[in-house]
Structure 1
Amino acid sequence: MKKEDYKIHIIGAGISGLIAATVLEQNGYSPTIIEVTDSVGGRVKTDLIDGYQLDHGFQVLLTAYPAAQKYLDFKSLELQYFLPGATIFKNGTQTTLGDPFRDISLLFSTLFSGIGNFSDKIKILKLNKKLKQKTMSEIFSCKEQSTWSYLEEFGFSFRMINDFFTPFFSGIFLENKLETSSRMFEFVYKMFQEGYATLPKKGIGEIPNQLYRNLKRTTFKFDTKVVSIKERKITLDNNTILESNFTILATEAHGLIPNMKHQKMAWSSCDTFYFEIETRTIKKPLIGLIPKKGTLINNIFYHTSLKTTKHSNKELLSVTVVDNQNLSKKVLLERVQIELKKYCNIDVVRFINQYSIPFALPKLSNLKYEMAPLETRLTRGVFLAGDTLLNGSLNAAIISGEKAALGVIETISNMP
C-alpha cells in the first residue's frame, strides 16, 4: 500500500494532534484530523473581543522548551518577552523580585525587595547552578516529592516560599498548596532559567494557527464529534462510520474507547477574567502576585505591557483565579474586583470576559519527559497523544504528538 493510501485519523486539533499531523506529513502520509469545535488549538486559543486579544486562560510559551524550538518558528510568531521576575503586592506595598543577572534593571528592586532574606537569595543562586547542570533525564528520574517539601528541604525560609514560590508556581501548576511533583518544579524552573516566558504578538492561539497553516496534505473535519473508537473503525455522533487503518487519539480517551471508560483523568481548573483598566500599576512586562492566604486572585498581568496586534487606548488586565472556592460567577467577579482595589489599588473601568476552564492541566504523578514511539500504542491500530502521557506542559504535548506519529510510522514499516 502506498503511503498516501493509508487512512490515518487524528482525533483532536490541539497541539498534540497538529504535531502528529506535521510528523506524518513530513514522512509522506496524508492524515485526517477530526475536531469537535470549529477551529484548531484545543486548550490553546485566543479570542478577539472589543479590539482586545483574550487568551483562553493566562498562558505563556517558554522559549527554552526543546520541542517548541524544534517545531515552532519563533521569528514568525513575533514573540514578546516578559521580564524574568514578578511584582509582589504585600502589606499595601508593591515590590519587584527578579533575576538581575539576566536583566540589570531588576538589581536594586530585588536586593531591597524585602521578599525572603539574604540566605534565600544565596540559595536561589545555588538552585540556579544545580538545575543548570542537571539533564532532563536526571530531573525526571529523581525521587518525587511535593514542590513545597522540596523547597523546605533546600532550605528556603517559610517567608520566601509563601511570598514568592507559592503564588508564582501556583499560577503555573494551578493549585495553591505546591503539591505538584518536584520533577515538574525542577523542569519548569530550568526552562525559566534557560529561556524566557513569551507571548506571540497575536496571542497564544497563534501557536496552533502556525502549525495549522503549515499543514499541506492534512484533511480537516471541523464541528465533528467522535463517539467511539474501535480497531479500524471510528463512529461519529451522526452514526457515520469511518474506516481507519490507524487512529491517533489526541484528546482524552475516557468514554471513546470501550476498555478505558472507567479510567477518567483528574484535572486542575482555573478562572481567568479580563478587565479594561485606565492605567497600569505595573509598568514593565511582569506578572503581579498576591501572596496573602485566602485571596482569590493568584496573579495579574497587563497584556498591553507587551506589543499586540490589536491596539486600544486603555489597558488590558488579566486576573487568574486558581481556587474559585465554589463561588457563583457573579459573586466571584464581584470579589475579584474588590481584591484588585484592596490589594493592588486597581480600579476596573470595564469587565470584558471570563473564561472558566475546567480541564486546564492534568493532575499527574510519576511524571516523565520522554517516551518511545511504540509506548503510545494502545492497540495495534490505536495510538494515544497528549500531555497527559508525560507532564502538563506545551513541551510534553508536542513530544507526545511526535511520538504517536512515529509510533504509527514504525508500525507501518514493520508490517509484512
Structure 2
Amino acid sequence: MAAEQRYPGADCDVVVIGAGIAGLRCASVLQERGLAVTVWEAADAIGGRIRTDVVDGYRCDHGFQVLNPAYPELSRAVDVSSLTMQPFEAGVVLRDKERTRVWAHPLRSPGRLPRMVSSAGLGVRELWALARWAAPALRARGLTAPTHDDSLYAALERARVHGLSRRVLDQFIAGVVLDDRGMTSNAFILLLVRMFALGVPGLPADGMQALPQAIAAPIADRIELRRTVSHLRRDGSGWEVSDGHDVLRTRHVVVATDPRTAESLAGVPAPHMKGVVTDWWAADAPLPGPAMLWVDARPKPSGPLVNTSVISKAAPSYAPAGRHLVAASALLGPGSEPPSTSAMQSHAGDILGADSSRWSLITRHVIPEALPVQPPPLRVRRSLDLGDGLWVCGDHRDTASIQGALVSGRRVAEAIAVSS
C-alpha cells in the first residue's frame, strides 16, 4: 500500500489507540477506504464509556444513557434497525409539589394534548418565554456556527424563562449534560433540543453496549484488548507504538482515548470533565406513570437526583419477565463524594410517587469523568491533526455527545485516507 511504501517495514497503515465509539468509527471508515488498521484497547472490552453490565438478568448501562436515532451520524455508522430500539415516550414527567404533570411532545403524543394544556401549569407568558428561547433550534446552521453564544443560564435569563418551566428545564438539561449551574453552551443545548424534537431517544434491546458492538463488527479481527500503550515514538517517517511488550510500526497513529490519556500520550490539553452516579434497582411491583424521564420540579427538591425513570417500561429487555428496573442519576462534582444509595432510593421513590423501601439495589456506577464540558462559545470542529501522522479524536474534539464522537472518528479517517 501507499503508506507502506513511504514507511517500509510497517505492521499496518494506522494504529488506533482506544476502542470507544470514536476510535471504532475511525477504524471502520479506514478499513472501508482500504487501509490496514489495528486497534489497541486498554480495557477488557470495547465501548469506552459506553458499557452495559448484565446482573441477574438486568441490563444496567454505565451511567444513564439513551440513544437518539435522530443523530445524523448514527445512521451513517450503523444499521439502526439492527439495534432493535425501544423508545421512551416523547416527553417528561415532573413532580410539582403534591402532584405530577406530564409534558408530552404535542406532535408525537396528540392524545395527551388536551390534558396537558389544562394541567401543564404554564401560563401564556411562560409559554412565550420558552418559545422565545427555543426558537433558534429551528435553524441548525446558526447553531453549529453561532455568531453569538452564551451560557444556558444567561440565555434563559435573557428570554425570561422563570418559574415552573425554568425548574423543569434546569433539571432535565442537568441530567443530559451533567451541569446544574447552566454554564454549558446555549447553542449546544439548542442543538440537543432540536435532536429531541426530531427523534425519540430509546435503548437498544441488548443495552447501550450494542452500539459499539455494531460499529466494531466489520473490524472485529483488527481489535486487540488489554493493550495499554506506554509510549509513542517518532521513527523516521512513521511511528512506533508500544505497550511495554510489543511494538507496532505504523505510518499514522490515532489517539482515540479518554481526554486525560490523550493528554499524556499526545499532549492534547484535557478539558474539564463532569461526573455522574447512577443507581439501578429491581422492583417487584409495577410502578405508576408513563415510560418517560421523571424530574423533581419543586422549588426545593427533596433529594440529590437530577432524574429517574422506570427503564423496563420503555425497554422491557432490560429486566427479567415480571420484574421492573428503576434507574436514577445524581451529579458528581470534582472531588466530591457520591450521594448515599439510601438518599437516592428515597428521592427516586418520592419523584415516582412509589414506595421504594422494598427495591433492591442491583448495581451502582460512579463515573467521575463521564462527559467533557461544553462551554460557550460552541466549537464543533476542533483540530484533529497534530502533525507528522499523529491524530486525535473523541467527543472532546467535537460536541460532547455520541454524535460528536462518531463525527470526530469519521473526520480523522477521511483525512488520513486523503493523505495516504
For the pair 1:80 / 2:90, whether they are aligned, the reply is no
- Distance in 1, Cα, partners of 2:326 & 2:264: 44
- Distance in 1, Cα, partners of 2:362 & 2:270: 34
- Distance in 1, Cα, partners of 2:253 & 2:394: 14
Match of 1:37 among 43, 52, 71: 43
- Distance in 2, Cα, partners of 1:257 & 1:114: 47
Residues 21-100 of structure 1 aligned to structure 2 (within 5 Å): 21-100=27-106
Match of 1:179 among 175, 180, 183: 183
Taking structure 1 as the reference length, what is the TM-score of the superposition?
0.89
Aligned pair in 2 of structure 1 residues 246, 387: CA closer, same or farther (>3 Å)? same
Tell me, yes or no, if the aligned pair for 1:277 and 1:350 is still in contact at 8 Å. Answer: yes
For the pair 1:144 / 2:149, whether they are aligned, the reply is yes
Deviation at 1:309, TM superposition (A): 3.4
1:224 alignment partner AA: R
Q: Residue in 1 aligned with 2:419? A: 411
Give the RMSD, CA atoms, in angstroms. 2.5
Deviation at 1:130, TM superposition (A): 4.0
Q: Residue in 1 aligned with 2:200? A: 196
Q: Residue in 1 aligned with 2:328? A: 319
Aligned pair in 2 of structure 1 residues 255, 126: CA closer, same or farther (>3 Å)? closer
Deviation at 1:30, TM superposition (A): 2.2
Deviation at 1:356, TM superposition (A): 0.5
1:16 counterpart SS class: helix
Match of 2:360 among 350, 355, 364: 350
Tell me, yes or no, if the aligned pair for 1:81 and 1:197 is still in contact at 8 Å. Answer: yes
1:408 alignment partner AA: I
2:24 alignment partner AA: L
Q: Residue in 2 aligned with 1:221? A: 224
Aligned pair in 2 of structure 1 residues 406, 53: CA closer, same or farther (>3 Å)? same
Q: Residue in 1 aligned with 2:378? A: 367
Tell me, yes or no, if the aligned pair for 2:3 and 2:251 is still in contact at 8 Å. Answer: no
- Distance in 2, Cα, partners of 1:31 & 1:223: 17
Deviation at 1:140, TM superposition (A): 3.1
2:102 counterpart SS class: strand
2:61 alignment partner AA: D
For residues 335-372 of structure 1, the C-alpha deviation after alignment (integer angstroms, 9 at most, x for no partner) is: 1122234443331421110000111110133433346x
Q: Residue in 1 aligned with 2:113? A: 107
Taking structure 2 as the reference length, what is the TM-score of the superposition?
0.89
2:55 alignment partner AA: I
Identity level (%): 21
- Distance in 1, Cα, partners of 2:403 & 2:171: 23
For residues 142-184 of structure 1, the C-alpha deviation after alignment (integer angstroms, 9 at most, x for no partner) is: 322111221222232333112x100110001101122111111
Q: Residue in 1 aligned with 2:394? A: 386
Q: Residue in 2 aligned with 1:119? A: 125
Tell me, yes or no, if the aligned pair for 1:36 and 1:226 is still in contact at 8 Å. Answer: yes
For residues 309-358 of structure 1, the C-alpha deviation after alignment (integer angstroms, 9 at most, x for no partner) is: 353322100001114797756x6112112223444333142111000011
Q: Which runs of 5+ in 1 are unaligned?
A: none
